[in-house]
Amino acid sequence: MKDVRALILTGFGINCEEETAAAFRLAGAEADIHHLNDVFNEKCSIHDYHVIGFPGGFSFGDDIAAAKVLANKLKYRKIISGRLFMDEMEKFLGDGKYIMGICNGFQVLVKTGLLPDTLEDHSQQVTLTYNDSGKFEDRWITCKVNPESRTPFLQGIDLIPLPVRHGEGKLLIKDEKVQDDIRSNALNCMSYCDPDGNVTSEYPLNPNGSELNCAALTDKSGHVFGLMPHPEAFTSIYNHPNWGHLREHASNDDGDGLKIFRNIVRAIGGE
């Protein structure tokens, strides 16, 4: 198994970089945290890594719309050598590497057009906007993995409890054509459900009212993966509010969120 290197990007209001890096390290990867300006100024290169993590947080204070300012910076900013950073991202993916976005990071990937990218032209096809409840949601939910999803991030997972903490997590899809493409390609890889695995739009089981009850998306390759819940916040069973009950039936102290990170590290490492 080869060594796996993860680049965790931070700056401009991102605030979950330490937890995300810790999750990759617990999964067996080497994880470095770099401010985006280090990448733009070419003090480090994304091409030295196998996976990029866009963590959660409140980039630019969500002052216009969650992650929109950061998405525009990624899409239109040139690195110091004069190349568009977005072109570097395309090359990164063209080399068979992976990108993961969590919460604000998911919003970034959606608004740069990297997800779901059904036309493969990076045009924005969906958005994440205000929760139906009209307020910030901070709760534990359960997600059902789409069994037809091909992304290695979710391999072997059926149901997964995770925390959410967002004010703009409602997925809206541009039109019926995009929705059909998402469904037919199983890009809606994870959905909000009840504890028994029944996908639902019922609040608070679905915390935001997303179309397709969607909690996560991938692109067609499965190499770009974004989700609203926070798997990096459930790497230990003791993160869960009902950890005592879970501990009685668990074979180890790992939280279910760690499975996602282990999956991608194994996929990259060739295990």
Q: Which DSSP string corresponds to 138-173?
A: EEEEEEEE-TT---GGGTT-SEEEEEEEES--EEEE
Q: Is the pLDDT of residue 64 over 90?
A: no
**Which residues pair with residue 158 across a beta bridge?**
none
C-alpha span between 245 and 134 (Å, rounded) = 33
Has residue 85 got a pLDDT over 80? yes
pLDDT in tens, 102-141: 999 999 999 999 999 999 999 999 999 999 999 999 999 9
Domain 5-132+168-188+215-269 has CATH 3.40.50.880: yes
Give the model's confidence band at 9: pLDDT under 50 very low, under 70 low, under 90 confident, else very high.
very high
| 3-class secondary structure, 128 | strand
The span from the first CA to the last CA of the chain, in angstroms, equals 6
pLDDT band at 250 (very low <50, low <70, confident <90, very high): confident
- Closest C-alpha among 220, 227, 242 to residue 164: 227
Both structure tokens of 230: 């926070």
Q: Is 241's pLDDT higher than 80?
A: yes
Q: Say which residue the tokens 């609040």 belong to.
A: 203
Task: Report, as residue numbers or ranges, the catalytic residues.
Answer: 103, 230, 232
CA distance 136 to 74: 26
Q: How far is residue 2's CA from residue 28's CA, in Å, rounded to a whole number?
A: 11
pLDDT of 271 higher than 70: no
Assessment of whether the complete model's pTM goes beyond 0.85: yes
- E strands in the chain: 5-10, 30-35, 51-54, 98-102, 126-129, 137-145, 159-166, 170-173, 190-193, 214-218, 224-227
Cα(66)–Cα(7) distance, integer angstroms: 22
Average pLDDT over residues 42-64: 95
Q: Is the pLDDT of residue 218 over 80?
A: yes
Q: What is the pLDDT of residue 108?
A: 97
Rounded Cα distance between 111 and 126, Å, is 8
- Where do the domains of the chain lie? 5-132+168-188+215-269
Q: What is the mean pLDDT of residues 244-268?
A: 94
CA-to-CA dists, residue 86 to 46, 122, 232, angstroms: 11, 10, 26
The separation between CA 110 and the C-alpha centre of its own chain, rounded to angstroms, equals 10
